[in-house]
Amino acid sequence: MEKNVGHPIDKVARVVLGVVLLSLVFLLEGSTRWFGLIGLVPIVTVVVGWCPGYAIFGLSTRQVATDKTEGP
């Protein structure tokens, strides 16, 4: 499982989205409040560094290091 989440903006956006969704647990009433637990998904993807959605579509925001030892 190769990491595919790495850009700082991507990470911050995922954490913010996760916190907003998690807040639904406290804002909604009844059984619909538990849909807020979906907010754990983007937070876990930041912690793990891997997003299954990105993997399916072959996307990555991880910056790869370039080898600068080769010259012309």
Q: What is the pLDDT of residues 9-46, one digit of tens each?
A: 999 999 999 999 999 999 999 999 999 999 999 999 99
pLDDT of residue 29: 95
Residue 53 pLDDT exceeds 70:
yes
Is 67 contained in some domain? no
Q: For residue 12, what are the CA distances in angstroms to 9, 47, 56?
A: 5, 12, 22
Q: How far apart are CA 51 and CA 59, in angstroms?
A: 9
Domain for residue 32, yes or no? yes
Report yes or no on 41 lying in a domain.
Answer: yes
Domain interval for residue 39? 8-57
Number of domains in the chain: 1
CA quadruple 67, 9, 24, 48: dihedral, nearest 10: 10
DSSP-derived secondary structure letter, 33: G
- Please report whether residue 2 resides in a domain: no
What is the pTM for the complete model shown?
Answer: 0.82
Residues 6+ apart with CB under 8 A from 65: none
